[in-house]
Amino acid sequence: MKISLVGDAAITKSNSWRVRYARMWRESPRSFRIGFMILLFWVVVAIVGPFLAPFGPTQIGTGIPLSGASWEHPFGIDQLGRDVFSRVIHGAHIVLLLSISATLCGLVIGSFLGLLSGYIGGWLDEIIMRVSEAMISIPFLILAMLIVAVAGPQWSGNPILVIVAVAIVYIPRTTRLARAASLDIITKDYITIARLRGEPSLSVVRREMLPNATGVLLVEFATRAGFAPVLIGSLGFLGFGMRPPTPEWGLMISEYRELIFLSPVTLAGPGISLATLVVGLNLCTEGLARMLGRSGEGVSA
Amino acid sequence: MSAKSPILSIRNLSVAYDGVDGFLEVVSDVSLDLVGGEALGLVGESGSGKSTLALQCLGYQHPRARVLQGKVFLQGKDLLNLGFEDLSRIRGKTVSFVPQNPTTALNPAKRIGQLFTELLLHHGVVRSNHVAAKRTTDLLSQVGLPDPNQMIRRYPHELSGGQQQRVCIALALACSPDLVVLDEPTTGLDVTTQEQIIGLLVRLRQQLGLSMLYVTHDLALLSQIADRVAVMYAGQIIEVAPTVKLFKEPLHPYTRGLIASVPHFLSANSKIGARPLQGLLRRADLPDGCRFSTRCEHVTDLCMDTRQRLEATSTDHYVACHRWNHIKVTFNEEKKSERLIRQKAEAILKIEELTVTYHRSGSSIINYFRTPTTPAVHNVSFQIRRGGIFALVGESGSGKSTIAKSISGIQPLDGGKIIFQGSLITASIGARPKNLRKEIQYVFQNPDASLNPRIKISEIIGRQIEILNDCGRDEIGERVMIALDDVRLDRSYAKRYPDELSGGERQRVAIARALIVNPSLLLCDEILSGLDVSVQASVLDLLRRLVLKKDVSMLFISHDIAVVRGLADDVGVLYDGCLVEMGTNEEIFSAPFHPYTEMLMKAVPKLNKKPLFDNDSHQITPSEAKKVGCAFCGRCSKKIGEICEVTPPPWRLFGQSLYIRCHHEGEELKMVPDQK
């Protein structure tokens, strides 16, 4: 009761946003704060890292290959004599960009389809859901490879193709989730009111349903975004994704996996980086979901 | 009674919740005694802290709650200092709890019998499953459940709400506790079921000599069950008195307002001489002094600054108002209800032989091969006069909402016609033109569900005219403000989200949204049932005013026949999808009565009503002998015999415009619902 709602409104507009964000930060769950710090760290690394990295991502002869960790080479040196630490730093923006944009594409399209399918129901629902289920039944790696293969060799190694492939893998999964969320939302009377006033279907989905599904969708975004680097790396490893020598973390894990006994730190470098990024993303979005879902309903994922 | 030592005694208890803005005190400095065998009623609006206090009597508190000071003694034991082990030995055995919502309180995965066995074995009341089963059937028959041997094999979802609550009560009684704490045990139930539950509790109390702490927001209920009543406001007990005394001469202005807010329909509410409560309980800005002062009509400067303490006005009457002596009880003449008798014969809406069947939900492909179920609404015909209020009354499941949904166009019909303003309208909302969609507006029961929690109030209301009225974008903002003024909400509310409003305010927003497009027919579906009594009164008042001002007609759906009495012009009583009685307000509430109408009227809790006894004769499930003869015959107290079960009763005209569907002639139906 020290700060009432009325009191807040009285604060002048110029600094009100600062007060609001400061307050939001104070009231946010601890998981969000930790996750946010980790994420912020990686975003900073992705932006300024390339300028500060001691070596280039493909620069060879930086030291004795597989010589293990040292102050100069914290993650050691790979079999070609490249500094793994520098490669991890140079790879950060690639990983972030690829995985987040791919997940975002999949999420936006998938949630739109799912919500629409749930709202309209009937035959459209049947078609969308059966197609989604058929796609889910194909293992995701095989599906992604299929897409890359269909695109043809001229697209090979193109980041856009990787994004599209991952997005298509994610769409049916997100569709199912969004539809499940919509089934609860469409029973609410505000949807009936919208229908009664003759609101167009797309408008109902965007205005009335989407804001109420954000909690679920954000959590979905977190888990999917966390998994995306792994998927992209697997594609790269199989020769369907990014091509060496791109310092993409998943690709690096694949490349260095033989070194696990020779120089474990070399594998651990990109591995731990990926793990912290995934954990950070998860903590952050989970906390965000809890904050956005004021009442906490529909967020338990 | 006063000679006995108290079984429960609460001393200076303060409880606070750990909120965003620090600790919020929800119970402040409460002291209360409950002597053995006594039933104490605890009444207050939502947010008054009554449930928090009730849970403290079991030594339980919400994980975010902290006890700031005070003690709770149960039979001399300090509950707040006991460990988990000791508490679990006491809970259920010495003190037990009956929750508000039996549906969520009973574990859906366990059979009724298991629930009892678990409890009985835990407390060591019985040693073996076999004896537990015996004890369970005894308990179940004690609470009046039919066929206890069958019952223990059932799952909770197979029982009706009333039966579930009986099971909860039986569970609470299983280990013969000394004190039972009941937290709004009948709030979610129909009036008739509520009456039965109260009757059961009264009977059990006399048989077993239980002490009860009965928490409710419904003051009228307490008059039937409680010996003493404690009135709570904003975490403080503001008045304690024996029930009869409290209703006869309430001293605190809040209590008076509360009593005046109870809708009456047979007796005038003039004795108290107070107006219904104004305003709302806002925990965020309570004054330092008397917490009620912001809503009190007798407020003085002193009230604002000085904290009020409970003081004795007589041996058993305490009040926390230092002006109680100065406030004279003013006798108001009963105001005639302000309903205008507008006998415009012209009907705005005519429903003819409406029949609606619910098809099973589920996958549409599977549905395609299924046969439809029995109709939810069967051959219903009525008309709403222009500018009039037509009320549909009935229990839950009687098909009231289905009718409203059919009129609005979201529920497809299986037969019948809807004639609106003289022309037949299509049943499907998708096929209705814009001006027709505008004319019929719907207000839902639960504003939590009918206002999108993620959209601002201004947009919630504004979108309605944006879609339905051709008015400029710049005009919308101004129209929204006017709409807010109409429902007496502050204009600043436009910037808020629904969860920043109280239940009553939200319902006002929902009303504003419906009225902003100037409809000619308003469908109100149980719009008061989720609200506190005092808020109900003010929303009802608002509705009455707006109907006059905006000249809209209204279909008012309610299970509360007392509210209908004060509001409606014409009334239809619905039972199991059939109209059983229809006529003008005056006709419905005077003889002759359909037996069902009579039952509804008798079930309404009234102040000063003598306690009822459990009457199990009405308990037969309505599904028996259905669809051939009279739907109501299974529960009817005036059943003639064979004819009721076999022949559908005639729809007969009595007097000017009163229709009753019954085999009885006029004379037998003239039993006036008495005050007993």
Measured CA to CA, the distance from residue A133 to residue B182 in angstroms comes to 49
Residue A110 confidence (pLDDT): 94
Q: Which residues contact B457 (CB under 8 A, 6 or more apart)?
A: B451, B484, B493, B494, B495, B496, B497, B498, B501, B509
Interior CA angle at B314 toward B201 and B241, to 5°?
20
Task: Decide: B506 and B444 in contact? Cβ < 8 Å.
Answer: no
Measured CA to CA, the distance from residue A189 to residue A194 in angstroms comes to 9
Does the pLDDT of residue A105 top 90, yes or no?
A: yes
Q: Which residues contact A272 (CB under 8 A, 6 or more apart)?
A: none
Beta bridge partners of B77: B74
Task: Decide: A189 and A124 in contact? Cβ < 8 Å.
Answer: no
Are the Cβ atoms of A1 and B22 closer than 8 angstroms? Answer: yes
CA B176 to mean position of chain CA atoms: 30
Quick one: which of B393, B452, B293, B378 has its CA closest to B604?
B393
Is B1 near chain A, with CB under 8 Å? Answer: no
CA B521 to mean position of chain CA atoms: 25
Q: Which residues contact B369 (CB under 8 A, 6 or more apart)?
A: none
DSSP letter string, B79-119:
GGG--HHHHHHHBTTTEEEE-S-HHHHS-TTS-HHHHHHHH
Is B454 near chain A, with CB under 8 Å? Answer: yes
Place A178 in a pLDDT band, splitting at 50, 70 and 90.
very high
**What CATH superfamily classification does A5-292 receive?**
MetI-like (1.10.3720.10)
pLDDT digits (tens, 9 = 90+) for A63-81: 787 777 788 888 888 888 8
H runs (alpha helix) in B174-216: 191-208
Task: Decide: B58 and B95 in contact? Cβ < 8 Å.
Answer: yes
Pairing of strands B423-424, B578-584: unpaired
Residue B371 confidence (pLDDT): 53
Across residues A115-131, what is the average pLDDT?
92
Question: Exposed, middle or buried, A58 (CB in 10 Å: 0-12/13-18/19+)?
Answer: middle
Residue B365 confidence (pLDDT): 54
Instruction: Count CB pairs under 8 A between chains A and B.
Output: 83
Is B499 near chain A, with CB under 8 Å? Answer: yes
Structural domains present in chain B: 6-94+179-319 (3.40.50.300), 105-176 (no CATH), 347-575 (3.40.50.300), 590-670 (no CATH)
Measured CA to CA, the distance from residue A217 to residue A109 in angstroms comes to 12
- Helices A84-120, A264-292: crossing angle, 10 deg rounding: 30
Does the pLDDT of residue A138 top 50, yes or no?
A: yes
Is B437 near chain A, with CB under 8 Å? Answer: yes
Is A17 near chain B, with CB under 8 Å? Answer: no
Does the pLDDT of residue A116 top 90, yes or no?
A: yes
Structure tokens at B240: 């304690």
Is A5 near chain B, with CB under 8 Å? Answer: yes
Beta bridge partners of B377: B356
Residue B224 confidence (pLDDT): 82
pLDDT digits (tens, 9 = 90+) for B14-69: 888 876 666 778 888 888 888 888 889 998 887 788 888 888 888 887 777 888 88
Nearest to B464 among A188, A189, A197 (CB): A197
Does the pLDDT of residue A9 top 70, yes or no?
A: no
Are the Cβ atoms of B364 and A189 closer than 8 angstroms? Answer: no
Across residues A271-289, what is the average pLDDT?
82
Nearest to A212 among B408, B452, B463 (CB): B452
Measured CA to CA, the distance from residue B391 to residue B557 in angstroms comes to 6
Across residues A210-215, what is the average pLDDT?
86
A4 contacts on B by Cβ (under 8 Å): 21, 284-285
HEC-encoded secondary structure of A191-260: HHHHHHCCCCHHHHHHHHHHHHHHHHHHHHHHHHHHHHHHHHHHHHHCCCCCCCCCCCHHHHHHHHHHHH
DSSP letter string, B296-324:
-TT--HHHHHSPP--EEEETTEEE--TTT
Nearest to B365 among A1, A126, A195 (CB): A126
Q: Which residues contact B486 (CB under 8 A, 6 or more apart)?
A: B512, B515, B546, B549
Measured CA to CA, the distance from residue B566 to residue A66 in angstroms comes to 89
Measured CA to CA, the distance from residue A222 to residue B463 in angstroms comes to 33
Residue B25 confidence (pLDDT): 81
Mean model confidence pLDDT for chain A: 82
* H or E, element range at A35: helix A30-52
Place A292 in a pLDDT band, splitting at 50, 70 and 90.
low
Q: Which residues contact B118 (CB under 8 A, 6 or more apart)?
A: B110
* H or E, element range at B6: strand B6-19
Residue A128 confidence (pLDDT): 93
**Residue B202 or residue A239, greater confidence:** B202
Measured CA to CA, the distance from residue B491 to residue B511 in angstroms comes to 15
HEC-encoded secondary structure of A54-96: CCCCCCCCCCCCCCCCCCCCCCCECCCCCEHHHHHHHHHHHHH
Interior CA angle at B225 toward B220 and B226, to 5°?
90
Q: How far is B286 from chain A (nearest CA, A)?
A: 9
* H or E, element range at B252: none
HEC-encoded secondary structure of A129-147: HHHHHHHHHCCHHHHHHHH
Measured CA to CA, the distance from residue A115 to residue A185 in angstroms comes to 9
Q: In the 8-state DSSP scheme, what is residue A52?
A: H
Are the Cβ atoms of B499 and A295 closer than 8 angstroms? Answer: yes
Residue B596 confidence (pLDDT): 87
Q: How far is A8 from chain B (nearest CA, A)?
A: 12
Structure tokens at B387: 């500018």
B441 contacts on A by Cβ (under 8 Å): 196
Place A102 in a pLDDT band, splitting at 50, 70 and 90.
very high
Q: What is the C-alpha R_g of chain B?
A: 26
Measured CA to CA, the distance from residue A87 to residue B288 in angstroms comes to 65
Are the Cβ atoms of B450 and A190 closer than 8 angstroms? Answer: yes
The segments of chain B whose pLDDT lies below 50 read 1-3, 265-274, 331-340, 611, 613-626, 673-676
Say which range, A206-210, A231-235, B167-171, has the weakest mean pLDDT.
Answer: A231-235
Q: Search chain B and give the residue with CA nearest A26.
A: B20
Residue A294 confidence (pLDDT): 44
B502 contacts on A by Cβ (under 8 Å): none
Task: Decide: A187 and B361 in contact? Cβ < 8 Å.
Answer: no
Task: Decide: B72 and B78 in contact? Cβ < 8 Å.
Answer: yes
Is A202 near chain B, with CB under 8 Å? Answer: no
| Residue type present at position B432 | R
**Residue A11 or residue B638, greater confidence:** B638
